[in-house]
Amino acid sequence: MAALMAANDGDAVAYGDDEITRTAIAQLCALAGAQSAQLVFTGTAANILGLSLMLRPYQAVICAESSHLNVDECGAAERVLGCKLLPVQTPDGKLTPDLIASRLTGRGDEHRVQPRVIQLAQVTELGTSYSLDELRELRAFGQDHGLLTYLDGARIANAAAYLGCSLADIAAQVDVLSFGGTKNGALGVEAVLVMTDGLADGAQYHRKQQMQLASKMRFLGAQAAALLADGLWLTSASHANTMAARLADALTCLPGVRLAYPVESNAVFTEVDEQIALRLQDDFNIHIWSESGDGNCVLRWMTAFDTSPVDVDQLAKAVEASFHVKPDRA
Amino acid sequence: MAALMAANDGDAVAYGDDEITRTAIAQLCALAGAQSAQLVFTGTAANILGLSLMLRPYQAVICAESSHLNVDECGAAERVLGCKLLPVQTPDGKLTPDLIASRLTGRGDEHRVQPRVIQLAQVTELGTSYSLDELRELRAFGQDHGLLTYLDGARIANAAAYLGCSLADIAAQVDVLSFGGTKNGALGVEAVLVMTDGLADGAQYHRKQQMQLASKMRFLGAQAAALLADGLWLTSASHANTMAARLADALTCLPGVRLAYPVESNAVFTEVDEQIALRLQDDFNIHIWSESGDGNCVLRWMTAFDTSPVDVDQLAKAVEASFHVKPDRA
Amino acid sequence: MAALMAANDGDAVAYGDDEITRTAIAQLCALAGAQSAQLVFTGTAANILGLSLMLRPYQAVICAESSHLNVDECGAAERVLGCKLLPVQTPDGKLTPDLIASRLTGRGDEHRVQPRVIQLAQVTELGTSYSLDELRELRAFGQDHGLLTYLDGARIANAAAYLGCSLADIAAQVDVLSFGGTKNGALGVEAVLVMTDGLADGAQYHRKQQMQLASKMRFLGAQAAALLADGLWLTSASHANTMAARLADALTCLPGVRLAYPVESNAVFTEVDEQIALRLQDDFNIHIWSESGDGNCVLRWMTAFDTSPVDVDQLAKAVEASFHVKPDRA
Amino acid sequence: MAALMAANDGDAVAYGDDEITRTAIAQLCALAGAQSAQLVFTGTAANILGLSLMLRPYQAVICAESSHLNVDECGAAERVLGCKLLPVQTPDGKLTPDLIASRLTGRGDEHRVQPRVIQLAQVTELGTSYSLDELRELRAFGQDHGLLTYLDGARIANAAAYLGCSLADIAAQVDVLSFGGTKNGALGVEAVLVMTDGLADGAQYHRKQQMQLASKMRFLGAQAAALLADGLWLTSASHANTMAARLADALTCLPGVRLAYPVESNAVFTEVDEQIALRLQDDFNIHIWSESGDGNCVLRWMTAFDTSPVDVDQLAKAVEASFHVKPDRA
C-alpha cells in the first residue's frame, strides 16, 4: 500500500514504460532467470496469456481435472484460446508422467486435438507441491514427447517456501510460468514469465488483446516491486505456510478430523463426516470443497500473509466448540 | 448418384433457393416434425451448427466422454463455439440423469461455466441406442433443470431402424438434432433440424460463417431427397443393422470373443485378448478401438447399406481362419 | 488513494460481495438510472464486456473508423467476440444516421454479417461530444432499424461536464454503456452499465471469462466510490475541460495553429504545418496524431484532473518559444 | 459427373487416403509448384483455412474493401480466425504497394493489430486480374515489409486464361493460395495450396477443426482430378472469358452502357443510369451490384464454362429489347 502511495506521486509515462514497472520487471526476470515478464491483473489472465504463447488452436493442454484452469476460470481457455483441455483425474492434484501419457493417444490423427502443453500448478489446487525432482522428471518426460510445460504459479511463493528453494529452481523446469501476487498480499497483480527462446513473441499484443494492459501500469509495477523488496514474497508465503501447519496440527487433534491431502502450502484440506461438515459450514462461512463419498466431506481452510498464531488458535478453539454442539442443531 | 445426375441437368438458383433443395428440406421437416432444416457437408459441421443455436460462450455442453463431439472432432466445439465440454464417463456411451447430475455443480457460480445443453448421440459412439423411454426420461430431466437437448444423429437412421420407430418419435424428445446421410449411403450431406421455437434464429448466418453454405446446394439437396425417397434412409439402415447382428452372431461363436457392448445398430464391438487383437488388426486393417485393461482389447466392426450377407460370412470365416494361425506370428 | 487505504483495512469477502463494492455499484446504478453495473480493469475490457451482452457471432458493430474500439484495442473485439466491426469514415469522430445507414446494406443476406449494434463514443476519439439531441436522434434511428446502441464512456464525465447534463441524461439514450474512471483520476477502474431489460443476462460469467473478475474487488469498488463521492467524477472532468479550453485559446493565438476539431472535452487537436509539428514533437514528447494532407499534421493535447492553470500557461509559453527556434533546427 | 460415377464404384479408404484423392493432390501440387494441397468444400473455407496457416490472433490481413473475404463471407475470418481485417478502398478491386502501405501504421504499437498478410484475389471481386508484373511487385513489397501473401483463387483459372500463363506462374508470387473448382464447373471443391516452407504445419488439423474434412474425400478428389484432366480447368475458364468478352462487346454497343471495370475474366461490370438498371433488374433477375453516385448503377454479368455464344447473343438482344420498353414501365 505504501508502494502504491509512492507510485501515485507525480506523473508517469503510461502503459508500462515507467521506471517503477521497468525495474520491477527486471528484478522479477533476474529472480526467476526469465527472458521476459508481463504484468496482468488476475491469475486467470496470467494462465490464458501464458498459454497463448504456446498454442495453436488445434493443440491441447493436458491438466489435472481439479485444476483452477479447468474448473474455476469459467471456460476462459476455451473461449479465448479456442483450445481444448484434456483433464486427467489425479489422487492429489498432481500430474505424473503416467497420467500424462494416458492422454497422448491420437497423436498424428487429424480427428483429434494434438496435445502440446502440460499444465501444472505449483502449488496445486489441492494444496500439494511438486518436489523439484518431480518437476525435473515431468520436464524430461515432456521434452521426450514434444510437449511444452506451463506452470500456474498463482501460489508459487508458497511452494518455494515449502520446498526451501528459489524461484529460479522451479522456473528452470518449465517453459512459461505465472508468478502470483494477489494471493500473497498484493491488491491484484500477476506476472507471466517466459523461460524459453521464442515463446515471448507477440506477448505484448496478446496482453492488450486479452484486456490486460493497464494504462497506469505503474500501480501494477509498484505492487510487484513491493513483493520483491527484501524478499517479502517469500517471507509472506513462508509465514502463511507455518500458520497452515499450525492449523492442521490443531484440527487433526479433533476426533473425526483427518487430512485429505498432505499440507504442503498455505491450505489445509480436512475430511470429516457430513453432519460435522454441515455444522462447520454453518458456523464458519466455509464452503464444502467436495464430497468424498461414504458420507464424508472435504473442507478447505486457507491461511494468508496476515494470519496470526492467535487467529489460528482461536479458530481451532471455535471449531472444537462447534464439535460439542448438539448434533440435532445441524 | 442418379439423383445427382438429375440435379446436374440445367441451371439452378444458387445457395439453396432451388426446387430440389426446397423440396428435400420440406420433406425432412415433415418427417421429423421439425420447424426448419439446414443442410451441411459433414457430421462435425452439423454438430457445431446445431450447438451454435443453443449456446452463449460461457455455457457448457454435458456429453459422454466417448462421444464423437468430444473425441473425434479435433476440438471444433472449443474453437468455433468457444464453449467448454463437460464430459462424463459412461459404461456404454449413454448418458443418464444421474450421470448428467454429476456435472451440474457450480450453477450460479461465476467462476464456473454454466451447463446449458445435454448432448446425446443416437446411436452412440459405442453402437448403443437410447430407448424412447430413456429419451423421454432425459428430456424430462433436462426440462426440470433448465437444460436443452441436442442429439447427434449421424446414425439416427440406424437407431430408428433398431427401435422400430419414426424419425419424429426420436426428434420429439430433443430441441435440435442432426440427421446423417453420409454414413447411410450419401456422398456427403447432413441436416440440422430445429424442433423448438426460437432456436433457429440466425441459423443461416451461422451456417455461412461456419463455411457450410454450398453455392451449388442442389447437389446436397438431391442427396437428401434421394435418401428420403421411398424410405431409402430407413431400409438402408435396417439392412446395415441386420448385417451387424449377423456378424455379431458369427463372431461370438469364436472362442475368446465377447461382445463389449450390446449390438443395437450397425456396429459390433468385440472384446478379445491382446494377442488376438494384434493379429486381427494385422489381417483386417481394423483399428484397436481401446484397451480395456487386463490385457484385453476392444475392436469395432461396422456394416453399411451395401454390406451383403456373403460379405459378412466371408469376413467371419476369415476371422476364424486368423484364429488358427500360429500365435507366434503376431 | 485514501479510499484504497481505507479499503485495505480488515478482511473482506472476495469477488465483489463486499460492502464497499456493493455500495459503489448501487450508487453508480442510481446515478445513471441503470439496471446493473459490472466493474472491470480497463476501458478495452469495458467495451468488450458491454458488446458481449448484445451480440451473436454473425452480428456486427457499426462504429467510427477513428474509434478506440476499431483502432486502439488490438483487435480484442474480433478475437474475443468473434464479431466484425463495420467502420465508417467520419469528419469529426461522430456517427450520424446517414453514416450508419451507409452500412446497413446486405441485411437478410446470409453472405453478410448482420449489423446489430451502433457503437458511439462520448466523448469521441477526436474530443468531440454528441449533443443530447444528436443522441436522441441516433437512438430513434437505431430503434427504427432494429439496432441496439452501445456507448463507450471512457471519458463520459468530460461529456457530461461539457453538456452540463447528468449521467442519466446520456445513459437514457443507449442500451449499454461504459463509465470510465481511469482517465478521470482513478488508478484503474471502469464500469459497464446496462440500461435495457434482458441485456445483463450472464454478464458475470462473461466478465470472469474475459479475465476481469478481481478477487479483491473492493479495491475497484473503492475507486468507483471515491469518484462518486461529492460528485468528484464531474468536478474533475469539468476542471480538465476548463484547462483544455484555456490551452486551446492560448495555442490558437499562435500563428499557423488552427483547431482541427471543436474543443468539447479535455482534448485539444491542433493542425499545424509539418515542420512545426516535427519540432513540437521533438520538444514536447507529443505524438503526431495524423497527417491531414497538404503537408499539415494534427497534434493532440490532453488535460487531466490535476492539470493546473499554471501548467497550461507554461506549456503554452514553451510552445510559443518553440515556434521561435530557427527552422533549420528541425 | 462421370468422374463422380467412377469414384462411386467399389469401396475406398475414408478421409482422403484413397488413390483418387492422392493422385489429384499430386497433380495439383505439380501444376502449381506447391508443397502441399488440402481439398475443402467451399471458397470461403479455402480462404479461412489458408489464412489459418499464416496468422496469430493479434495479426491482421490487409485486403481490398470490396473483397469476398471482407464482404461476402459473413465474418468467417473474424469468427474462426479471431483476426481483424484491414480493408482498403481500391478503384478496381486491386491492391497496390501504396494502398497496402497506407495500412502499415502502428507496427510495433501494442495497441494495434499487426499487419501480417496481404490478401489478394485473382481474379478480383470486380473481375479484374493482376498482371504477373503487378504480382511480382506486390511480392517484393511484401517481402520488404515482413508480410506474407495469400491469394484467393476462387477464379484463378480465369486469370490464368486471361494472362496466358500457367498456374505455377501465379502461384510462385504468393505463399498460400486457393484453387477454385466450384465456379469453374465442379459441383463443389476448392484446394488450398501451400508454396512456402513451414506454412503447411498442422493444416490437416485446421481443416478438420474447420469442418472441412470429408469422410468420402474421394468425391472431392474426383472433381479435382476431372478438372485437371486434359487441362479442362483452363479450357473451361478460357471459354467463359471469351463469352464475357463477347457479351461486353455487345452490351457496350447499346446507348448509355459503359464498362465499369476492364473485362479481364468471366465477369462484365456495366454502368448504366438508374432507370435502366431497375428495368434490367426487373427483366433479368440481375442484382444491382452497387450505386456509383450521380444516379448511376453498376450491374454484374457473369459467364460460365457452359455459356454458349447463342446464350450471349440472345441475352444481348433481350437487353437491347429491354431498352426500348417505355420508360414509364419502370
Q: pLDDT tens digits for B222-235?
A: 999 999 999 999 99
pLDDT tens digit sequence for D139-150 = 999 999 999 999
- D78 closest CB neighbour out of C71, C84, C106: C84
pLDDT tens digit sequence for A240-264 = 999 999 999 999 999 989 999 999 9
> Which residues in chain B have their CB less than 8 angstroms from residue D79's CB?
80, 209
| Least trusted range by pLDDT, from A164-178, A282-296, C255-269 | A282-296
Q: What is the DSSP letter of D120?
A: E
Q: d(Cα C179, Cα C223) in Å, to the nearest integer?
A: 13
Q: d(Cα B48, Cα B329) in Å, to the nearest integer?
A: 45
Q: d(Cα B77, Cα B51) in Å, to the nearest integer?
A: 8
> Which residues in chain B have their CB less than 8 angstroms from residue C208's CB?
58, 110-111
Collapsing DSSP to helix, strand or coil, A306 comes out as coil
Residue C48 Cα, gap to closest chain B Cα (Å): 13
Chain A: touching chains (3 or more CB pairs < 8 Å):
B, C, D
- The pLDDT of residue D201 is 97
> Which residues in chain C have their CB less than 8 angstroms from residue A41's CB?
41, 211-212, 214
Q: What is the mean pLDDT of residues A133-145?
A: 98
Q: What is the mean pLDDT of residues C255-263?
A: 94
In this model, does residue A187 exceed pLDDT 80? yes
- The pLDDT of residue A278 is 87
> Which residues in chain B have their CB less than 8 angstroms from residue A72's CB?
111-112
| Least trusted range by pLDDT, from A82-86, B321-325, D157-161 | B321-325
- The dihedral region occupied by C267, where left means phi > 0, alpha psi between -120 and 50, and beta the remainder, is beta
- D204 closest CB neighbour out of A110, A206, A213: A110
- B114 closest CB neighbour out of C82, C114, C205: C205
Q: Tell me whether residue B15 is exposed, middle or buried, using C-beta atoms within 10 angstroms of its C-beta: 0 to 12, 13 to 18, 19 or more.
A: middle
Q: What is the mean pLDDT of residues C214-234?
A: 93
Q: d(Cα D247, Cα D250) in Å, to the nearest integer?
A: 5
Q: Do B215 and D75 touch (CB under 8 A)?
A: no
Q: d(Cα A106, Cα C41) in Å, to the nearest integer?
A: 40
- The pLDDT of residue C330 is 38
- The pLDDT of residue D53 is 98
Chain A contact for D58 (CB, 8 A cutoff): yes
Chain A contact for D205 (CB, 8 A cutoff): yes
Residue C110: closest CA among B56, B44, B194, B203: B203
In this model, does residue C321 exceed pLDDT 60? yes
pLDDT tens digit sequence for D100-127 = 999 999 999 999 999 999 999 999 999 9
Mean pLDDT of chain D: 93
Report CA-CA distances (Å) from C138 to B328, C94, C119, C128, C174.
82, 11, 11, 16, 9
- The pLDDT of residue A329 is 41
Q: What percent of chain D has pLDDT over 70?
A: 97
- C79 closest CB neighbour out of D74, D82, D112: D82
Chain A contact for B79 (CB, 8 A cutoff): yes
Chain B: touching chains (3 or more CB pairs < 8 Å):
A, C, D
Q: What are phi and psi of C299, to 5 degrees?
A: -115, 145
Chain B contact for A125 (CB, 8 A cutoff): no
Q: d(Cα A167, Cα B172) in Å, to the nearest integer?
A: 59
Chain C contact for D101 (CB, 8 A cutoff): no
Residues 6+ apart with CB under 8 A from D189: D39, D40, D41, D181, D182, D220, D223, D224, D227
In this model, does residue D34 exceed pLDDT 80? yes
Helices (H), A253-308: 274-284
Chain C contact for A311 (CB, 8 A cutoff): no
Give which of A70, A79, A107, A116 to mutate to test B binding, by max B Cβ within 10 Å. Answer: A79
Chain C contact for D58 (CB, 8 A cutoff): yes
- The pLDDT of residue C14 is 76
Q: d(Cα C243, Cα A245) in Å, to the nearest integer?
A: 58
Q: Do A206 and D57 touch (CB under 8 A)?
A: yes
Q: Could you tell me which chain B residue has the CA closest to the CA of D69? A: B209
- The pLDDT of residue C329 is 41
pLDDT tens digit sequence for B105-119 = 999 999 999 999 999
pLDDT tens digit sequence for B80-100 = 999 999 999 999 999 999 999
Beta-bridged to residue B193, according to DSSP, are B37, B177
ipTM over 0.90: yes
C-beta of residue A157 within 8 angstroms of C-beta of residue A123: no
Chain D contact for A113 (CB, 8 A cutoff): yes
Chain C contact for A45 (CB, 8 A cutoff): yes
C-beta of residue D272 within 8 angstroms of C-beta of residue D280: yes
Name the band, by pLDDT with cuts 50, 70 and 90, for residue D276: confident
Mean pLDDT of chain B: 93
- The pLDDT of residue A160 is 98
D42 vs B185, more confident: D42
Chain C: touching chains (3 or more CB pairs < 8 Å):
A, B, D
Chain C contact for D79 (CB, 8 A cutoff): yes
Q: Do A208 and C45 touch (CB under 8 A)?
A: no
Q: d(Cα B262, Cα B277) in Å, to the nearest integer?
A: 19
Chain B contact for D10 (CB, 8 A cutoff): no
| Pairing between β-strand B114-121 and β-strand B59-64 as defined by DSSP bridges | parallel
Residue C111 Cα, gap to closest chain B Cα (Å): 6
Residue C84 Cα, gap to closest chain D Cα (Å): 6
Mean pLDDT of chain C: 93
In this model, does residue A330 exceed pLDDT 60? no
Residues 6+ apart with CB under 8 A from C49: C38, C40, C192, C203, C206, C207, C210, C212
> Which residues in chain C have their CB less than 8 angstroms from residue A79's CB?
80, 209
| Least trusted range by pLDDT, from A95-104, B147-156, C231-240, D182-191 | D182-191
Name the band, by pLDDT with cuts 50, 70 and 90, for residue B325: low
pLDDT tens digit sequence for D181-240 = 999 988 899 999 999 999 999 999 999 999 999 999 999 999 999 999 999 999 999 999
User: Helix (H) and strand (E) counts for chain A?
Assistant: 14, 11
C-beta of residue D254 within 8 angstroms of C-beta of residue D323: yes
In this model, does residue D326 exceed pLDDT 70? no
C-beta of residue C217 within 8 angstroms of C-beta of residue C197: no
In this model, does residue A120 exceed pLDDT 90? yes
Cell 491441447 sits on residue: A60
* Polymer length in residues for chain D: 330
Residue D269 Cα, gap to closest chain A Cα (Å): 40
Chain D contact for B287 (CB, 8 A cutoff): no
C-beta of residue C78 within 8 angstroms of C-beta of residue D78: yes
Chain C contact for D113 (CB, 8 A cutoff): yes
- The pLDDT of residue B281 is 84
Chain B contact for C113 (CB, 8 A cutoff): yes
Chain B contact for D21 (CB, 8 A cutoff): no
Exposure pattern of B23-38 as b/e (b: 16+ CB <10 Å)? ebbebbbebbebebbb
Q: Do B73 and A110 touch (CB under 8 A)?
A: no
In this model, does residue D329 exceed pLDDT 90? no
Q: Could you tell me which chain A residue has the CA closest to the CA of C213? A: A42
Name the band, by pLDDT with cuts 50, 70 and 90, for residue D54: very high
C-beta of residue D325 within 8 angstroms of C-beta of residue D279: yes
Q: Do B78 and A83 touch (CB under 8 A)?
A: yes
Strands of the B296-302 sheet, one edge to the other: B258-259, B267-273, B296-302, B288-293
In this model, does residue C61 exceed pLDDT 60? yes
Q: Do C74 and A212 touch (CB under 8 A)?
A: no
Chain C contact for A102 (CB, 8 A cutoff): no
Q: Which strand (E) or helix (H) includes residue B286? A: none
Query: Chain centroid to CA A194: how far?
Result: 17
